[in-house]
Structure 1
Amino acid sequence: MDRGSGLNILYVDTLNTMHIPRTELHPAGSPFHGVILGAQAYLVGQIDLLITFGNRANFRLKVITFEVVDFLGSYHTIMGWPCYAKFMAIPNHTYLKLKMPGPNDVITVSSAFLHAFMCNHEHFELTTVVVNSSELPQLGESLAPAVLDYNKLTSSMAFRPLEEAKAVGIDPIDPTKMVWIGTQLLAK
């Protein structure tokens, strides 16, 4: 469960463990940010998988689209808000429970605190290895166009588009209120 992810992520290792051939992937959209600070993460592709929550007496099935990524993760998959919305699920991170309506009763998915601690510890160790690796500086150099030098930015330049963008007014009364929309967005 990821309370902040706007993506459902499936790692290539998990895809391989499930014996799903890469021919089942369909082309992915744009890269995304937030995995490696300042760098873009590129997708291998997308895959639609049938996901089931519950038991034989009370279950729900939905097809969920996962973004398949080819980097190490300490989990098999990350289910984000798109999955929760489709299942109408509510995560409670304090009690490690995920609840959603089922056809006969509420479906509850639970975890143990020790299991969550071990996953977090493994994730911390993996993150530490990646950050301390000799490959990270080289990766940063190879992705230089996507990495911003935050020391050179002023407060008015803090958020700049990475591609050509068009200014669009959002408030007819105040013309200074603008949003920037990319002019090279992919059509879906």
Structure 2
Amino acid sequence: MVDQIIGPKRLTKLLMDGGSGLNIMYAKTLDMMGVDLMRLRPIQAPFHGFMPRKQAMPLKQIDLPITFGDPFNYRTKTLTFEVVGFPRTFHAILGRPCYAKFMAIPNYTYLKLKMLGPHMVITVGTSFQQAYECEVE
């Protein structure tokens, strides 16, 4: 779990999932962020593995900037998200495409994500308490 800025908002419940081949954004999160729905692009490709033994169809796709770091040492890149209408625990799921774009290295034991910044290494993470609360939810 990380707490980062996506588009115009800081989202506090982003799941970093190294097993996911997609970046996923929930429709309710987009509503909460106040994102203009005209920015959504249609998509016709289903994906698998989100729900056991079923294929899922994203509603649309959107490109949003995401920022990691602090005001003195940060990186911003634009990621493509598949927008889904499922119930949510998290605000979004950041998968391998995010890791690759930022060349980030996860450490699941310590709930940390590290990447090279313009001045030094950027380390982001969360507390074990916040991760536990999301797991319970």
Q: Does 1:56 align with 2:75?
A: no
Counterpart-to-counterpart distance in 1, 2:88 and 2:49: 14
Query: Which residue of structure 2 lines up, in the alignment, with residue 79 of structure 1?
Result: 94
Which has the larger helix fraction?
1
Counterpart CA distance in 1 for 2:95 and 2:17 is 5
| TM-score, normalised with respect to structure 2 | 0.86
Q: 1:173 is matched with which residue?
A: none
Unaligned runs of 5+ in 1: 123-188
State, as a whole percentage, how many aligned pairs show the same letter.
56
Per-residue deviation, residues 158-182 of structure 1 (Å, max 9, x unmatched): xxxxxxxxxxxxxxxxxxxxxxxxx
Aligned residues: 122
Q: Residue 12 of structure 2 aligns with which residue?
A: none
- Among 57, 60, 83, the alignment partner of 1:42 is 57
Deviations 1:31-63 (A, max 9, x none): 111122222111111100011111111010100
TM-score, with length taken from structure 1: 0.63
1:92 aligns with 2:114: no
Q: 2:132 — aligned with what? A: 117
What do you get for the CA RMSD once the two structures are aligned? 0.9
The DSSP-based 3-state class of the residue aligned with 1:26 is coil
Shift of 1:108: 0.5
| Aligned with 2:35 (options 8, 11, 20) | 20
Q: Which of 1 and 2 has higher RCO (CA within 8 Å, sep 6+)?
A: 2
Which runs of structure 1 show a deviation greater than 4 angstroms over 4 or more consecutive aligned residues?
A: none
Deviations 1:8-39 (A, max 9, x none): 00000100001113221011241111122222
How many Å separate the matches in 2 of 1:7 and 1:90? 17
Where structure 2 has 5 or more consecutive residues not aligned to the other structure, the ranges are 1-15
Of the candidates 50, 57, 66, which is equivalent to residue 81 of structure 2? 66
Please give the alpha-carbon distance, in whole angstroms, between the structure 2 residues aligned to 1:116 and 1:78: 14
